[in-house]
Structure 1
Amino acid sequence: MKKTLKKNIGLLHLWLGLASGLIVFIVALSGSILVFEDELDEFFNPEFYKVEAIGDKKLPVDAIVSQVQKEFHLKKIDRIYTFYDPERTLKILATDSDKKKQIISLDPYSGKVLASVPAKSRFFSVVLDLHRHLVLGDFGQAVTGISCLIFVFMLLSGIVLWWPNKIKNLKQRLTVKWDASFKRVNWDFHSTFGFYTFLVLLIISLTGLTWSYKWFENGVYFLADGTTKKPSAKVENPTKIDPEGDKSFFYQNIFAKTDSIYRYKGDTQIRMPADTINSIMVIKINLEKEIPNIASLAYFDKYTGKVVETRPYESFSNGDKLRRLIYPIHTGSIYGYPTKIIAFIVCLFAVTLPITGLLIWFGRKKKKKS
C-alpha cells in the first residue's frame, strides 16, 4: 500500500513536472534576475538614481513638476517619489498626451531632466511582466498561478519521494555521488539539492500565490486577523468641487505635512487617485527599521491639500503588517544581502529542476525501450 502510494505520487510528480516545466523555468529565471533588481538597475541606469552633484537646497517639488509637465506634454501626474538620501534623484511616473506611462528622473536641486523611459519599455518592467504574466496579460497570470500551485505540490511530493524507506539510507540521500555516471549525478543533483532548497522554495512559491489568487491573500488576512475583511486602501475625497486658489506649493506642502506627521527618516511617494472619487494617498517608508517595506500612510484632499486621514504603521492590523512583509520575503530582501543571496542561489537551482527532471524522464524512457 505504501509503495503503491509513493509510486502514484511519483507519477503525478513526473507528469505535472513535465506539464509545467517550461513555465517554472521562465518564472524561476526571471525571479532570480528580479532579486537584485535595484542593484542591477542602478548599475546600468545610474541617471535614474544618482544626481550629478549635491546642491545646497532642493527646489520646490511643484516647480519641478510644472516644468516637466510642459516639457513632456504630460496629461496627468500619477506618482511622485522623493528620497531621504541627498544623492537620490526625484522620480515622476506620469501619463503623457498619448496616454502612455512615462518614468522621468530629475535633479531635485536644479530641476534638470536626467533621464526618461516609457514605463512598459523599462527592462525590469518587462522582466516583471514576464515573471507574473508571461507578457500575456490575464491569461498569462492564470497560467503562472496554476504553475505556481503545481510547483508547491512538486516540492511537497518531491520530499515524499526523496524520503528514504530505511533510515540507514539517509546519508546517501544527503550527498551527490559526483564520481558516478551522468545519470546518477543528475538524479542526485535533482533530489539532493531539491531537499536542501525545499523550505526556501516553498516560502517563495507560497508568497508568490498572493499575486495570483485573491483567496490566498484573503487566507493570509484570515490567519492573522481571523477575518478576510480588510480596510480599503482608498479614502473618499471630502471636497467634491475644485475650489479656486493658489496651488503653487501644493505637492511641496503635502510632502512637508507628511514629514511633520511621521518624523522618521524615510522615502516618500505621492499617489494620485486614478478616479474622481478618492483622495491622494502618501506612503512614507521607514528607513530606520531593519526590515524593509515598513510604511505609514497619510491621505490628503486632492483639491485643497488638507489632511483627510492618517494611518501610522502601528495602527495596522496583523494582517496588514503580514501582507507588507510578503514582498520582501518573496524577493529575499527581508534581511538584506544575506537573504537576497540565498534567494538568488535557490532561484537559480529552481531553473535547473525542469531540465534535470526532463533528463530523468528521458533516462526512464530509454531504459523501458531497452
Structure 2
Amino acid sequence: MKKLFRNIHLWLSLPLGILISIICFSGAALVFEQDITKALQGELYCITPPAKDAKALPPAQLIENIQEQVSDSLHLTALQLSHNPEEAAFASFRETGKKRLSVNPYTGETLGWTKSYPFFQTMRKLHRWLMDPPASKGEKSAGKVIVGVATLLMVFILISGLIIWIPRTRKALKNRLSVSCTKGWRRFWYDMHVSVGFYCTIFLLVMALTGLTWSFSWYRTAAYSLFGENPTASAHRTDKGKEKPRKEEIKITWKDAQASAPQSMKGWFYAFHTGSWGGMPTKVLYFLAALSGGILPLSGYYLWWKRKHYK
C-alpha cells in the first residue's frame, strides 16, 4: 500500500513541485501584509479618542457622515468598526475593491484611503493567478485554473506524504521527528523533507482546502453548504445592481483587538486560509508553514535527483 502512495506522491510532485513552491512562497509573503501596511500607514489606522470616556458615533450616523463626504458615484457596501477605542473605522465601496476609506469613529471625519503596495499586489497576482488575473471578478483565467488544479492536487500530495511518513517502529518514529545535522547534506535534506513536512502538513492542508473556495465555484458551493450556508442565495441578496444600498443593507462588522471577527462563511474561510483567526501567533505559524511548503518540493527534487544519479 505504501508503494502506491509513494508513487502517487512522486508522480504528482515532479510536475507540480515548482508551481507549489511559487504558490507557497508568495502566500508566505502575504501573511503579514495587513500588519506591514498598518505600520506604514499608521495615521489611517490609529486615532486618539477626544476624551477618556468618549463614545463612537452610532453606525447609522457614521454612514450618513461618510455618504456626505464622498462622491455620489460611490456606493457604500460595508462598514468595519472596532472595539479598540484607538482604531479607526473603515468603509468599503462597491467601486473601489480592496481600497477602503479610513474614518474617525468619534467625529465621522474621513481620514484618507488605504493603499496596497506594489510588492504585495504582485505577490497576490502570483499567488492567486500566476500573474494572469481574470478580466473581471468571478471569471476564469488560465492562471486561476492552473493554481486551482495545483492546489487541489497538492491535497493528494500532502495526504500521500503523510501516509508514507507513518513509521513502523519507535526508533523510526524518533528519526522521523528530528533532523540530523552531522550525517551529510543528503541526510540533512532527507530529514528536513520528512520531519518538517510532517510538522507543517496540517497547516498546509488547511490553507489548501480553504484556498480552493476562491478557485472553483463548485468547490465553494460544496464547502459552504457543508457548514449550512448557501452562497448562491447570499450572492443574490448582496447583488443589487447599481442601486445605492439602503442603510439596512450596508454590512456592519466588528474587528477586535487581535483579529477580524468574520461575519460570514467567506470571512471564516479567509481567516483560516491566512492564519488571522488566532492573531499574531497563528500568523507566525502559517508563515513558517507556507515557507516550509515552498522548500519541500525543492528538497524533494534534490532527493529524487540524488537517488536517480547516485544509487
TM-score (norm 1): 0.66
Indicate the residue corresponding to 1:217 in structure 2. 220
1:16 to 12, 15, 23: 12
Indicate the residue corresponding to 1:76 in structure 2. 74
Bigger proportion of residues as strand: 1
Bigger proportion of residues as helix: 2
Contact kept in structure 2, 1:80 and 1:90, CA below 8 Å: no
Cα deviation, residue 179, structure 1: 0.5
Amino acid of the residue matched to residue 356 of structure 1? S
Amino acid of the residue matched to residue 160 of structure 1? I
Indicate the residue corresponding to 2:302 in structure 1. 359
Change (3 A) 1:276 1:292: closer
CA distance in 1, matches of 2:245, 2:273: 30
Correspondence 1:143-222 to 2 at 5 A: 143-166=146-169, 168-222=171-225
Amino acid of the residue matched to residue 159 of structure 1? L
SS of 1:81's equivalent in the other structure is strand
User: Once superposed, what is the RMSD of the aligned Cα atoms?
Assistant: 3.7
Indicate the residue corresponding to 1:285 in structure 2. 253
Indicate the residue corresponding to 2:46 in structure 1. 50
In structure 1, the gaps of 5 or more residues are 237-270, 296-319
In structure 2, the gaps of 5 or more residues are 134-140
Change (3 A) 1:222 1:342: same
Contact kept in structure 1, 2:76 and 2:245, CA below 8 Å: no
Change (3 A) 1:77 1:124: farther
CA distance in 1, matches of 2:110, 2:230: 43
Check if 1:134 corresponds to 2:130: yes
Cα deviation, residue 20, structure 1: 1.8
Cα deviation, residue 327, structure 1: 2.1
CA distance in 1, matches of 2:143, 2:169: 43
Correspondence 1:231-242 to 2 at 5 A: 232-233=233-234
Change (3 A) 1:232 1:40: same
Indicate the residue corresponding to 2:281 in structure 1. 338
SS of 1:197's equivalent in the other structure is helix
Cα deviation, residue 147, structure 1: 0.9
Q: How many residue pairs were aligned?
A: 295
Cα deviation, residue 38, structure 1: 2.4
Contact kept in structure 2, 1:145 and 1:213, CA below 8 Å: yes
Select between 157-166 and 181-190 the one with higher mean Cα deviation.
157-166
Amino acid of the residue matched to residue 330 of structure 1? H
Indicate the residue corresponding to 2:138 in structure 1. none
Cα deviation, residue 347, structure 1: 1.3
Q: How high is the sequence identity, in percent, across the aligned residues?
A: 29
Contact kept in structure 1, 2:102 and 2:113, CA below 8 Å: yes
SS of 2:278's equivalent in the other structure is coil
Contact kept in structure 1, 2:78 and 2:251, CA below 8 Å: no
1:275 to 214, 217, 242: 242
Change (3 A) 1:93 1:54: same
TM-score (norm 2): 0.77
1:326 to 250, 253, 269: 269
Cα deviation, residue 283, structure 1: 2.4
SS of 2:251's equivalent in the other structure is strand
Indicate the residue corresponding to 1:88 in structure 2. 87
Cα deviation, residue 334, structure 1: 2.2
Indicate the residue corresponding to 1:265 in structure 2. none
